[in-house]
A = this chain, B = another copy of it.
Amino acid sequence: MSHPTSDAAEQAFYEAFRTGNLEAMRETWAAHDSIYCIHPRGDPLLGREAVMESWRDILDRGAVDIHAEPVSSSVGANLAVHLVSEQLLDPEGRIVGLVLATNVYELTDGGWRMLMHHASPAPPPSGPRGQSLH
């Protein structure tokens, strides 16, 4: 599947996540080793092998209902940056995770593909501004 826009690539990424489709997830990502992925509270995973191994582990645990709400995006000539607010829901529809994700997409010969995904826990709604480490 060749995605004509970074929005289409993003839709495919979250659809693969939601449906637990590893093959679709593989196709969402750029086919080279400059990709990276940071799962919430995780170490950086660099390159195809490490990134895809993590997704196999995650998707093996079963489909996760995930809602992704766009917050901001900037589209360049061949890279696009999206900020997304993710809600993860359990089978009863309860929120089990709130995540902020920066997704970068790359325009490749095969359309727009994911280049990197940096996800981190969102602060609780009434929490601090989170500047303690900076």
Chain B residues positioned under 8 Å from A11 (CB to CB) = none
Choose among B39, B78, B106 the residue that contacts A130 (Cβ–Cβ < 8 A): B39
Nearest chain B CB to A3 CB, angstrom units: 17
Nearest chain B CB to A52 CB, angstrom units: 14
Bound together, the chains give a CA A61 to CA B130 distance in angstroms of 14
A131 touches B43 (CB 8 A): no
Chain B residues positioned under 8 Å from A85 (CB to CB) = 44
Q: State the oligomeric state as a number of copies.
A: 2
Q: Which of A46, A71, A83, A99 has the most CB of B within 10 A?
A: A83
Could you name 28 residue pairs across A and B whose Cβ atoms are closer than 8 Å? A38-B100, A39-B130, A41-B120, A41-B130, A42-B128, A42-B130, A42-B131, A43-B123, A54-B131, A57-B131, A58-B131, A74-B115, A76-B76, A76-B79, A77-B78, A77-B79, A79-B79, A79-B80, A79-B81, A81-B104, A81-B115, A81-B116, A88-B133, A100-B118, A102-B118, A118-B120, A119-B133, A121-B133
